[in-house]
């Protein structure tokens, strides 16, 4: 449950950042400005900022409630756990770190390729794709199927943003789509995890949660 709550916190923050950027891009679209060049004087409505922060705070509060349900767990218990349990925990942590490292490799490559092609408008969609894709192995590793939705939703929006020609998708609309896709997917996933935390925890207990023995 503690790991689940940490995931909820990350999703809440990531979604807030993405949707803040999406709102800014939407304002650029409305005003006909390029967010990569001449959008410095865009006035961001305070109400949208407060709404963004309110939803993120509500999700973070939900994550805190999930964490409190695991209050009986102490990290010191890991030291007194069986050797197999400690080995499984170490293996799980290693796989998680490799997944994060792979995501950073994809993100770095996306940035470098966009810069080499002279297409700065592709940087953020490439970054969003790297972030989205890394949720798929995390879904398998932690037996969290909702993460597959996060990966699919963010990836589909990012891939379309990368593939669409400039005539079809100008810079502001391209950045808007990538941000909106990933932001919506993360917040929807966070809300689902909060509402179904106990059921997910029970399924782990029945299925020897996360995949460490394979």
Cα torsion angle, 185, 183, 105, 109, sign: positive
So what's the pLDDT on residue 106?
94
150 part of a folded domain: yes
Question: Which tokens sit at 64?
Answer: 């805190």
Q: What is the pLDDT of residues 37-70, one digit of tens each?
A: 765 667 778 888 899 999 999 999 999 988 887 6
Token duo for residue 122:
């592709």
Compute the mean pLDDT over every residue in the chain, rounded to the nearest whole number. Answer: 85
Identify the CA nearest to 14 among candidates 137, 181, 175. 181
**Does 160 map to a domain?**
yes
Residue 126 lies in a domain: yes
Q: Which residues, in sequence order, are CB contacts of 90 under 8 Å at separation 6+?
A: none
Asked if residue 17 is part of any domain, the answer here is: yes
Q: Does residue 34 have a pLDDT over 70?
A: yes
- Name the residue range of residue 110's domain: 2-206
Give the chain's domain count. Answer: 1
On whether residue 103 sits in a domain, the answer given is yes
| Inside any domain, residue 200 | yes
DSSP state of 45: P
What is the C-alpha to C-alpha distance for residues 15 and 25, in angstroms, rounded to an integer?
Answer: 15
Q: What is the pTM of this model?
A: 0.84
With both helix axes pointing from N to C terminus, report the angle between 146-163 and 135-142 in degrees, rounded to the nearest 10. 170
The reply to whether 212 falls in a domain is no
Task: State which H helix or E strand residue 143 sits in.
Answer: none
CA 194, CA 188: separation in Å to the nearest integer?
10
- Say what the pLDDT of residue 185 is: 97
Looking at the domain assignment, is residue 211 inside a domain? no
8 A C-beta contact, residue 193 and residue 7: yes
Dihedral-angle region of residue 117 (phi above 0 means left; psi in -120 to 50 means alpha; beta otherwise): alpha
């Amino acid at each position: 449950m503690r790991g689940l709550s940490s995931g909820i916190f990350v999703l809440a923050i990531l979604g807030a950042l993405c949707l803040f950027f999406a709102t800014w891009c939407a304002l650029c679209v409305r005003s006909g400005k390029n967010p990569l060049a001449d959008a410095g004087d865009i006035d961001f409505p305070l109400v949208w900022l407060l709404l963004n922060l309110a939803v993120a705070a509500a999700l973070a509060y939900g994550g805190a409630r999930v964490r409190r349900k695991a209050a009986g767990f102490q990290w010191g218990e890991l030291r007194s756990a069986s050797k197999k349990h400690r080995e499984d925990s170490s293996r799980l942590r290693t796989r998680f770190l490799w997944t994060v490292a792979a995501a950073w490799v994809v993100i770095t490559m996306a940035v470098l390729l966009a810069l080499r092609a002279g297409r700065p408008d592709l940087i953020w969609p490439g970054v969003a794709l790297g972030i989205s894709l890394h949720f798929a192995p995390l879904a398998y590793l932690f037996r969290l199927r909702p993460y597959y939705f996060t990966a699919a939703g963010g990836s589909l929006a990012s891939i379309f943003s990368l593939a669409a020609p400039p005539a079809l998708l100008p810079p502001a609309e391209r950045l808007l789509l990538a941000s909106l896709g990933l932001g919506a997917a993360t917040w929807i996933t966070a809300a689902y995890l909060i509402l179904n935390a106990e059921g997910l925890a029970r399924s782990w207990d029945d299925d020897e949660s996360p995949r460490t023995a394979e």
